[in-house]
Amino acid sequence: MSRNQEEIVSMFNKIAKTYDLANRILSMGIDKLWRAKACNMVFSFYNKQHIDTIVDVACGTGDLMIDWKNIASNNTITLDKIIGIDPSVGMMEVGKTKIQDGIFIEAGAENLPLDNESADIISISYGIRNVVKRQEALEEFARVLKPNGILVILEFTKNDKNDLAAKITNFYMHRIMPVIGGLISGDSEAYMYLPASIDSFITTKEMINELKSVGLEPIFTQGYSLDMSTTFIARKI
């Protein structure tokens, strides 16, 4: 079920209004824990009490932007600004209702309208899999990050194992998720795309190698919930 970038953006525009509800139900809310853990770890690795700019790429409806703000506050970290970037206007319109003072920019991950070495932290949560020009996007992340800046990726990576956990995950992704997602959104095809996009995506090891190839050194990699979700944290060297 290969799609070009325009088709992927159009799909997210269509499901934007029901995306948050579907996401909460399909993940049983555990995605909030994955994101919060990642934010806390990044702040710990970066180890600064004042942060100028965080850029959330493929920001969607803004959930991770809210997490960055709240968790920075909880850690007594001063955060000057957070910028959300996404090619889906529909998703960002929902985000703007949740973050009235947010900075949202319509753009793709492979062409960030930001200056060189202007971001302390870049995040992309369950979005890199939907970027057709992934190599160009990773190069952009490296360009925009400050020296020693941090990139964090949360993603559903392809599980190349054949154990019981992998079979359970596969059954849920292919049999349960399209049905529930389709009922909530009215677009079952969009939720058939999700498991198909995971099947055609790269493995954790391959992602690590791609990060290294653009000068981003992985400093933390961990799979969660039967390896359904993987968190990558890399530092610009």
Kindly report the CATH number assigned to the domain that includes residue 118. Answer: 3.40.50.150
Task: Tell me whether residue 5 is in a domain.
Answer: no
Domain that holds residue 98: 28-157+202-236
Task: Tell me whether residue 126 is in a domain.
Answer: yes
Judge whether 22 and 15 are in contact, CB under 8 Å. yes
Token duo for residue 208: 């690590």
Task: Tell me whether residue 168 is in a domain.
Answer: no
Task: Tell me whether residue 22 is in a domain.
Answer: no
Tally of structural domains, the chain: 1
What is the pLDDT tens value at each position of the chain, 237 positions in all?
Answer: 557 898 888 888 888 888 878 877 777 778 889 999 999 999 999 999 999 999 999 999 999 999 999 999 999 999 999 999 999 999 999 999 999 889 999 999 999 999 999 999 999 999 999 999 999 999 999 999 999 999 999 998 776 667 787 788 778 777 887 888 888 888 878 788 877 888 888 989 999 999 999 999 999 999 987 777 899 999 999
Task: Tell me whether residue 43 is in a domain.
Answer: yes
Task: Tell me whether residue 148 is in a domain.
Answer: yes
- Alpha-carbon distances of 219 from 101, 150, 194, 211, rounded to whole Å: 33, 10, 28, 11
pLDDT of residue 195: 78
Task: Tell me whether residue 194 is in a domain.
Answer: no
Judge whether 227 and 150 are in contact, CB under 8 Å. no
Task: Tell me whether residue 87 is in a domain.
Answer: yes
Sign for the CA dihedral angle at 168, 171, 177, 179 comes to negative
Listed in sequence order, the DSSP H helices in 99-186 are 134-144, 164-171, 177-185
As a whole number of angstroms, the distance between CA 155 and CA 153 comes to 6
